[in-house]
Amino acid sequence: MANRATLSTKFQISIPKEVRTAQHWQAGQEFVFIPKGAGVLLVPVPNAKDLAGIAKGAKTSDYRDRKDRF
């Protein structure tokens, strides 16, 4: 069965330890909530240092731009 949590009267939810451990989430980490149909996606906000070099080796020419959209 899936892990469950209950919304408190202060509108707080405790994330089950299994989920925190599996996702390597730490106290103080920031998240964004993305509405998705009848639910919500909980996505961690990446640190700027974790994004460094993410586009290394990307082609800078022959990429799709707004000119080819209608």
> Does the model's pTM come out above 0.75?
no
3-state SS class at 51: helix
Domain ranges within the chain, ordered by starting residue: 1-46
For 6, residues 6+ apart whose C-beta sits below 8 A from its C-beta are 13
pLDDT band of residue 1 (cuts 50, 70, 90) is low
Distances (CA, A) of 25 to 43, 59, 67, 68: 11, 33, 41, 40
**Is the pLDDT reported for residue 15 higher than 60?**
yes
Structure token pair of residue 18:
């299994």
Query: Could you name the CATH architecture of 1-46?
Result: Ribbon (2.10)
